Structure 1
Amino acid sequence: MAVIRSERPLDWSQVAAVAAGEPLELCGDARARMMAARVLVEQIVARGIRAYGVNTGVGALCDVIVSPAEQRTLSRNILMSHAVGVGAPLGSAETRAIMAAAVNNFAHGHSGIRLEVAEQLVALLNADCLPEVPAFGSVGYLSHMAHIALVCIGEGHVRYRGERLKGRDALQMLGLEPLVLEAKEGLSLINGTPCVTGLAALAMARAARLLDWTDMVAAMSFENLRGQLAAFDEDSLALRISAGLNLVGERMRITLADSGILATVAGQRTQDPLSMRTIPHVHGAARDVLAATADVVNRELASITDNPIVAGTPDAPRVYSQAHAVGASIALAMDSLATAIAQVAAMAERRLDRLVNPLVSGLPAFLAQPGGTCSGFMIAQYTAASLVAQNRRLAMPASLDGGITSGLQEDHLCHATPAALKALEIIDNAGRIVAIELLAAAQAYDLQSIEAPRAPHTEALRQRVRCVVPTYRDDRPLADDMSVAFRMIADEAPPPLPNPGSIGPRPAISVDGAQQFARVPVTNLAAAGKVRAAASAAVNDGHAAAHMA
């Protein structure tokens, strides 16, 4: 169902839904706001009111006056000179997310672009005719949106129905004409934080799905390693005030309910290793970060991030040339989310190591078939360790990178878009680590020496893996199995929890009167954010929510 940009701004899950392929529509109120803002720009031009990027140059050229006759040229030239991205293009989901966030920003009614400019972007988006956007080269937000906007004027390239086309040819195939940009439109198309905000919404969706999987896979490892269920005792966990921690504890109790294996070993150890007994603490902390990040991303989507902003009335137009396009808060949030997911993945690798290590697992060495001719999961753990190390390098904060651009005019940089891009890379790496743990946990079940039933939910997970990947016997490249498991985690939700309490099934959510499908049952992040400082008893009152993938 279509996502509608109405009188309310989009939230992160709606942007993620558009990124996943849902169409985007503009309601009448949004269209009216954009048209009203355009009138303000026309009045600013007509009255000669100085406005950055409207009748002046940009960056360090902000004090150079541009005549009315040159303002169209300025808008076009801004796109040409700012389209400086390098490297492989972004994926379709990343590009769609940025475009959706840009349209959302214009719909606030303070950018001043003509309605037809926004409609051109919506038409490209809904036709899945996506501009080719090099991933790298931005310290903030400029180059990505410049490459997107090029297509609106018939320049640049797109990917459409599996082909790479010139922008002009693509527009012609869609029955559209290249736009001639008017005053301010070139700057509006590249300015603000839609680039990082779109990418951040996509990171939220992927991280939410990953954390759901990580809880379930951790439960499988916990059961195979014969952990002590006391680690998830509800009364004990309630002593620490954390919505995420208490939610994960509940999920672990539900997932491992009625485990014959764990009943057999109950009370045999005083404490399990930290990678097992701190699952609620580490996974829960990541969920708390996710909830906090959701607040930041939604605030960003609700904010006007242009420079300049137009306001007032046609009789008294106003121009605010401030720094709202600087994405300091969302850069910090992306760095925080990246670190949280990297930590969760690092602990997953530690559980994986315990599964393959015969000194602590109680299982055959490296989960291999008997005999020295089979290595089993020995080297797969190397891969996981390598990805953990890569995440550790990537988790260095981009928001502290700094730098100076535009002849000292822009002498403080927050690197918000690079922060979001590396968060997405860390989430992918984490998914691969958890995928290896998933395969190892399924293999461990096949080699268990305890004659006792598995928990019903972990058995459902094991069967799901075995439907697509058979037991490993060193009879095929393990990388292929790892790829299948990663796609399962990246593209699908884990089996729904039985009797879930605060974690519901896959509900539909209402978006401006339309029903959005929801593929990933996860925590209600907004609710979690509100109760982070409340007593943990309130956590168990949670609500079901659906997050878009």
Structure 2
Amino acid sequence: MAVIRSDRPLNWFQVAAVAAGEPLELSASARARIAASRELVEQIVARGIRAYGVNTGVGALCDVIVSPSEQHTLSRNILMSHAVGVGVPLGAAETRAIMVAAVNNYAHGHSGIRLEVADRLVALINADCLPEVPTFGSVGYLSHMAHIALVCIGEGHVRYRGERLKGRDALQMLGLEPLVLEAKEGLSLVNGTPCVTGLAALALARAERLLDWTDIVAAMSFENLRGQLAAFDAESLALRISPGLKLVGERMRTALADSGILAAVVGQRTQDPLSLRTIPHVHGAARDVLAATADVLNRELASITDNPIVAGTPEAPRVYSQAHAVGASIALAMDSLATAIAQIAAMAERRLDRLVNPLVSGLPAFLAEPGGTCSGFMIAQYTAASLVAQNRRLAMPASLDGGITSGLQEDHLCHATPAALKALEIIDNAGRIVAIELLAAAQAYDLQSIDAPRAPHTNALWQRVRLAVPTYRDDRPLADDMTIAFRMIADGMPPPLPNPGNIRPGPDDSVSDAALAALASLTGIAAVGKLGAEPAANDGRGAAHAG
């Protein structure tokens, strides 16, 4: 069942669902709004009403008048001159996300494109015939959508059924002809904030999944390091007002319920180190940022982000040539989310360091076989430390980069799309850090000296890890295990804990079951692996079985 753009704008979850492969449809009302907005542009052209990018040049050429006979050429030339992206192409999910966000914007009915243009983008999405879009080169928007729009006119390249094709050849295979753009359509195709909103929807989906993983992996480390459960006491946590903190506290109590290991060490320490006792505070703060980012993104998707915007009636058309295409709010939100995830990953590395450090862990040095010939997880912690440092560099706010373009006409830039791109990179790095912590925590269980059972929930995740990789004995490249663990995190979810429920759309948003299933492939809503029988040669308790 398709995601339908109807009277209501799409929310972030629906955008992510289409990015994962769900088809997109325009309702009759959305189609009518698009057609009505085109009529406004035609009246603007016929009456000679000055409108930026319709009958004028763009950027610093905004005061140069373009005659009606040249307006087709202007639209085409805008795509050619704005298709200036560089670097490796975006992935399929990223490209689909940007395209569906663009269609959502046009469906507001204030962009002035013909219905045929919106239908062309929908057809490419649903055929999974995806334009080749270089990742870099944007200070806010423009270049990504220019590369997408090239395919609509038979230019550029696509990836279709595993092949790289010229845009014209791909259209022919789909039974479509290249479009000839009319007045304003070139500008509408590159304008607005679909690049950042599409990428931001993916960032939210991936960050939400990562936070779910990080909670349960942190619980494994907490148990192995014999933390004091008082850190998650509900009455104590209630003294600090934070929905995220409250939720994470509940999740940690659930994950560690009935832990024999923790029962055996109650009261042995007055206070745990901060990387253990602040799990609800730090993870909870990140969840609060996630919820705030979702609100900003949904507002952005509900907003009209063209320049110019067409409004009014055919009898009295109006043109608003202002700054709605500037995505300052979503740029700030992406910078905030990136910082939050970078902090989560940094604390995961601190827990990892405690697991491998014999001075504080109570476990064999570096979780290695004894005797000095094995290094165990010594250098894996180096990798995590390197990724934390990389995240720290990436977390510098893109929204403060500034710059000047277009001959001083555009003398303030907020770099919204770069903010989303680096947030995605930080989330990816964080997933790798948490994957290393997951492997180390599983190894620590195998070497645990306390002969007591693990919590059922952490034991279930340990089982899943051991179904995928055996205990590590320096007998194979550890990088291969790290890749397997990262794919577990990137493609699936841990055993379920209480659902956050604070950023998902409500029942009125009517995301279909099929959309949820499609999104599972992207965000890992469905569990990966099974939680069945205990792996051989282990009794499910905390005793070491390394020999």
> TM-score of the superposition, structure 2-length normalised?
0.93
Partners of 2:149 and 2:440 lie apart in 1 by 46
Report the alpha carbon displacement of residue 514 of structure 1 after superposing the two structures with TM. Answer: 3.5
Instruction: Determine the structure 2 residue equivalent to 1:223.
Output: 223
C-alpha contact 2:490 2:524 (8 A) present in aligned 1: no
**Amino acid of the structure 1 residue aligned with 2:212:** D
C-alpha contact 1:327 1:416 (8 A) present in aligned 2: yes
**Amino acid of the structure 2 residue aligned with 1:437:** E
**Amino acid of the structure 2 residue aligned with 1:447:** L
Structure 1 residues 411-442: Cα deviation after superposition (integer angstroms, max 9, x where no partner)? 00000000000000000000000000000000
Structure 1 residues 10-64: Cα deviation after superposition (integer angstroms, max 9, x where no partner)? 0001101111111111111100000000000000000000000000000000000
C-alpha contact 2:124 2:130 (8 A) present in aligned 1: yes
Change (3 A) 1:280 1:410: same
Report the alpha carbon displacement of residue 358 of structure 1 after superposing the two structures with TM. Answer: 0.4
Q: Counterparts of 1:77-88 in structure 2 under 5 Å?
A: 77-88=77-88
Matched, 1:266 2:266: yes
Instruction: Determine the structure 1 residue equivalent to 2:41.
Output: 41
Matched, 1:154 2:146: no
Instruction: Determine the structure 2 residue equivalent to 1:537.
Output: none
Report the alpha carbon displacement of residue 253 of structure 1 after superposing the two structures with TM. Answer: 0.3
C-alpha contact 2:141 2:193 (8 A) present in aligned 1: yes
Structure 1 residues 88-125: Cα deviation after superposition (integer angstroms, max 9, x where no partner)? 00011110100010000000000010011001001101
Change (3 A) 1:397 1:277: same
Q: Counterparts of 1:59-208 in structure 2 under 5 Å?
A: 59-208=59-208
Partners of 1:285 and 1:210 lie apart in 2 by 14
**Amino acid of the structure 1 residue aligned with 2:415:** H
- Report the 3-state secondary structure (helix = DSSP H, G, I; strand = E; otherwise coil) of the residue aligned with 1:217: helix
Instruction: Determine the structure 2 residue equivalent to 1:517.
Output: 516
Change (3 A) 1:478 1:202: same
Report the alpha carbon displacement of residue 521 of structure 1 after superposing the two structures with TM. Answer: 8.8
- Report the 3-state secondary structure (helix = DSSP H, G, I; strand = E; otherwise coil) of the residue aligned with 1:467: helix
C-alpha contact 1:4 1:512 (8 A) present in aligned 2: no
C-alpha contact 1:3 1:511 (8 A) present in aligned 2: no
Instruction: Determine the structure 1 residue equivalent to 2:295.
Output: 295
Partners of 1:74 and 1:319 lie apart in 2 by 19
Percent identical among aligned pairs is 88
Partners of 2:147 and 2:511 lie apart in 1 by 33
**Amino acid of the structure 2 residue aligned with 1:283:** H
Instruction: Determine the structure 2 residue equivalent to 1:540.
Output: none
- Report the 3-state secondary structure (helix = DSSP H, G, I; strand = E; otherwise coil) of the residue aligned with 1:473: coil
Report the alpha carbon displacement of residue 507 of structure 1 after superposing the two structures with TM. Answer: 12
C-alpha contact 2:391 2:426 (8 A) present in aligned 1: yes
> TM-score of the superposition, structure 1-length normalised?
0.93
Matched, 1:472 2:455: no
Partners of 1:342 and 1:409 lie apart in 2 by 35
Q: Counterparts of 1:240-255 in structure 2 under 5 Å?
A: 240-255=240-255
Change (3 A) 1:378 1:502: closer
- Report the 3-state secondary structure (helix = DSSP H, G, I; strand = E; otherwise coil) of the residue aligned with 1:76: helix
Partners of 1:294 and 1:501 lie apart in 2 by 16
Change (3 A) 1:337 1:503: closer
Instruction: Determine the structure 2 residue equivalent to 1:457.
Output: 457
Partners of 1:372 and 1:278 lie apart in 2 by 34
Report the alpha carbon displacement of residue 493 of structure 1 after superposing the two structures with TM. Answer: 1.2
C-alpha contact 2:139 2:415 (8 A) present in aligned 1: yes
Change (3 A) 1:507 1:241: closer
Instruction: Determine the structure 2 residue equivalent to 1:316.
Output: 316
Partners of 1:456 and 1:503 lie apart in 2 by 24
**Amino acid of the structure 2 residue aligned with 1:420:** A
Instruction: Determine the structure 1 residue equivalent to 2:238.
Output: 238
Partners of 2:252 and 2:50 lie apart in 1 by 60
**Amino acid of the structure 1 residue aligned with 2:134:** P
Structure 1 residues 66-89: Cα deviation after superposition (integer angstroms, max 9, x where no partner)? 000000000000000000000000
**Amino acid of the structure 1 residue aligned with 2:476:** R
C-alpha contact 1:105 1:194 (8 A) present in aligned 2: yes
C-alpha contact 1:54 1:184 (8 A) present in aligned 2: yes
Q: Counterparts of 1:534-545 in structure 2 under 5 Å?
A: none
Instruction: Determine the structure 2 residue equivalent to 1:539.
Output: none
Structure 1 residues 314-347: Cα deviation after superposition (integer angstroms, max 9, x where no partner)? 0000000000000110000000000000000000
- Report the 3-state secondary structure (helix = DSSP H, G, I; strand = E; otherwise coil) of the residue aligned with 2:264: helix
Change (3 A) 1:390 1:414: same
Report the alpha carbon displacement of residue 509 of structure 1 after superposing the two structures with TM. Answer: 6.3
Structure 1 residues 385-417: Cα deviation after superposition (integer angstroms, max 9, x where no partner)? 000000000000000000000000000000000
- Report the 3-state secondary structure (helix = DSSP H, G, I; strand = E; otherwise coil) of the residue aligned with 2:165: strand
Instruction: Determine the structure 2 residue equivalent to 1:525.
Output: none
**Amino acid of the structure 1 residue aligned with 2:390:** Q
- Report the 3-state secondary structure (helix = DSSP H, G, I; strand = E; otherwise coil) of the residue aligned with 1:476: coil
Partners of 1:218 and 1:204 lie apart in 2 by 21
Instruction: Determine the structure 2 residue equivalent to 1:279.
Output: 279
Partners of 1:425 and 1:9 lie apart in 2 by 28
Structure 1 residues 258-293: Cα deviation after superposition (integer angstroms, max 9, x where no partner)? 000000001100000000000000000000000000
Partners of 2:347 and 2:489 lie apart in 1 by 17
Instruction: Determine the structure 1 residue equivalent to 2:18.
Output: 18
Instruction: Determine the structure 2 residue equivalent to 1:439.
Output: 439
Partners of 2:434 and 2:17 lie apart in 1 by 24
Partners of 1:311 and 1:345 lie apart in 2 by 46
**Amino acid of the structure 1 residue aligned with 2:27:** C
Partners of 1:50 and 1:249 lie apart in 2 by 58
**Amino acid of the structure 2 residue aligned with 1:55:** N
Structure 1 residues 337-364: Cα deviation after superposition (integer angstroms, max 9, x where no partner)? 0000000000000000000000000000
Instruction: Determine the structure 1 residue equivalent to 2:413.
Output: 413
Report the alpha carbon displacement of residue 491 of structure 1 after superposing the two structures with TM. Answer: 1.0
- Report the 3-state secondary structure (helix = DSSP H, G, I; strand = E; otherwise coil) of the residue aligned with 1:396: coil
Change (3 A) 1:513 1:67: same
Change (3 A) 1:324 1:215: same
**Amino acid of the structure 2 residue aligned with 1:106:** Y
C-alpha contact 1:6 1:512 (8 A) present in aligned 2: no
Q: Which runs of 4+ in 1 moved over 6 A?
A: 501-504, 506-510
- Output the aligned Cα RMSD: 1.5
Partners of 2:2 and 2:366 lie apart in 1 by 49
**Amino acid of the structure 2 residue aligned with 1:517:** L
Instruction: Determine the structure 2 residue equivalent to 1:56.
Output: 56
Partners of 2:362 and 2:351 lie apart in 1 by 14
How many aligned residue pairs are there? 519
Partners of 2:385 and 2:347 lie apart in 1 by 10
- Report the 3-state secondary structure (helix = DSSP H, G, I; strand = E; otherwise coil) of the residue aligned with 1:265: coil
Structure 1 residues 469-503: Cα deviation after superposition (integer angstroms, max 9, x where no partner)? 11111111100110111111011111113xx4867
Any unmatched runs of 5+ in structure 2?
526-547
Instruction: Determine the structure 2 residue equivalent to 1:538.
Output: none
Partners of 2:445 and 2:191 lie apart in 1 by 53
C-alpha contact 1:19 1:94 (8 A) present in aligned 2: yes
Report the alpha carbon displacement of residue 510 of structure 1 after superposing the two structures with TM. Answer: 7.1
